[in-house]
Structure 1
Amino acid sequence: MVRKTKEDALATRDSILDAAEQLFVTQGVAHTTLQHIATTAGLTRGAIYWHFEDKAALFNALMERAKMPLESALYLLEKQCPDDPLADLHEYIVCVFRLTVDDQRARRAFEIATLKMELVEEMNAVRRRRAEWKEQWMATCEGRIKIGVEHGLLKPDVDPALVALGLFALIDGLLRAWLLEPQSFDLVKVGEQIVDTHLECLRVVQ
């Protein structure tokens, strides 16, 4: 009986998060109330308060549950000493674009975090996640670029920190532009072409 009660509680919690995710995408975080979420989930506000202290706690739990495209593809950068670091970075970035297009939950989480909310103190999960991911990206990307320079694959005057920051801005900007107007361009095809143009400028001409 206890096991069933726990399972029911988890199912209710997930239904609350699912409803919040749906509403945050369609009407934004600020314009979504706990009553909106309760109604969509078929619950009372009391049921929501049983699981979450307030909307900020609910929002942060939603962000903790989600795995955004930028994070989901990081396994591709766990390889050690790649033979071609630019190809490695290319594979990762294109995977991010594909996940954004194909993985609806990952896309919704990124859309909520970047376009549907204000980065106020109460909604600290996004700020923390973004800072952590950016730090990890910078360190990993800089490491790849340094390997490329050391192996004579990339131009010797390339600044790894600047490259990492530029690629971060490029990825983030393309994702935001596509989310605002998904029909305006093919994120995977056009995104790959833009990224390749940028990366090839770093390569030593043989």
Structure 2
Amino acid sequence: MTRRSRTHQSTPSNEQAILDAALTLAVTAGYEGTTMAEVARLSGLPVGSVYWHFNNKEQLFSELIDYCFETWKADHTGPTNRDLLRRSIAGSAGGSVNPENKAEAFWILALLFALEKRLTGNLARERYLEVRKQMFELMVERVEPQIPDSVLAVDPEFGRKMVVLGRALTDGFYIAASSGDDIDFLEFADLSASAVEALIARRAAAVAADEEKQ
């Protein structure tokens, strides 16, 4: 999408200020409640400058999702699957409950793009759905190396199933906390990690037992 004619000075700091302002508003007011005028006010820039950088709110949110995705990729790393799941549940889901934790709180706002059917066809929603697929594949790349080769040989999709399970746990704990349940995210992150590790170990043992019978 092309930008508007050059009537305002474009600088990385201006664009960063606009993205930061949009993120701050997004986690408190949501997509519908965020306006370009409020983004301009919070960023300290003229509204014309905001429109010069981003033609409309859809484009602004689309690029905001990319901006947050880069942060997500850097944060969601770890030497073990336990570390990854702990980061996902206690970091993303747990952090999203606190609107002051803007980097994590945006994670759940992005999830709302997937659930809000009224935004079907919205540029920002479509970009989020694309990013969500990329997030999934990145997690598969990080999870699969820690699953025994014997398990993957029998069930090549097992790693992907573990990522689906981890994502469902992360989403579910956020919804539970948002509904008023008393959720200790660190405790449930460790419980979930232990359950996933036990599931992998059980599958590996079952595969080994089947091989012995043959």
TM (normalized to structure 1)? 0.71
* 1:69/1:96 contact within 8 Å kept: no
Taking a change above 3 Å as real, the CA distance of residues 136 and 157 of structure 1, as seen in their structure-2 partners, is: closer
Which residue is equivalent to 2:168? Answer: 169
Which residue is equivalent to 1:108? Answer: 105
Match of 1:54 among 53, 56, 67: 56
Taking a change above 3 Å as real, the CA distance of residues 190 and 159 of structure 1, as seen in their structure-2 partners, is: same
* 2:95/2:105 contact within 8 Å kept: no
Q: Over residues 17-39 of structure 1, what are the superposed CA-to-partner deviations in whole Å (9 max), with x where a residue is unaligned?
A: 12111111111101222112122
Which residue is equivalent to 1:45? Answer: 47
Match of 1:96 among 88, 102, 107: 88
Q: Over residues 138-173 of structure 1, what are the superposed CA-to-partner deviations in whole Å (9 max), with x where a residue is unaligned?
A: 3543443243637xxxxx789614333223322332
AA paired with 2:130?
R
Unaligned runs of 5+ in 2: 1-7, 206-214
TM (normalized to structure 2)? 0.69
Match of 1:25 among 21, 27, 34: 27
Question: How far 1:55 sits from its partner (Å)?
Answer: 0.8
Match of 1:144 among 135, 138, 146: 146
Taking a change above 3 Å as real, the CA distance of residues 38 and 182 of structure 1, as seen in their structure-2 partners, is: farther
Match of 1:134 among 133, 136, 140: 136
* 2:86/2:190 contact within 8 Å kept: yes
Q: Distance in 2 between matches of 1:12 and 1:73?
A: 25
Name the structure with the higher helix share. 2
Which residue is equivalent to 2:212? Answer: none
The count of aligned residue pairs is 185
Which residue is equivalent to 2:189? Answer: 191
Q: Over residues 47-72 of structure 1, what are the superposed CA-to-partner deviations in whole Å (9 max), with x where a residue is unaligned?
A: 11111111111111211111478633
Q: Distance in 1 between matches of 2:71 and 2:52?
A: 31
Identity %: 22
Q: What SS is found at the alignment partner of 1:203? A: helix
* 1:15/1:41 contact within 8 Å kept: yes
Question: How far 1:194 sits from its partner (Å)?
Answer: 2.8
Match of 1:72 among 45, 67, 74: 74
* 1:68/1:106 contact within 8 Å kept: no
AA paired with 1:95?
R
Which residue is equivalent to 1:153? Answer: none
Q: Distance in 2 between matches of 1:113 and 1:129?
A: 10
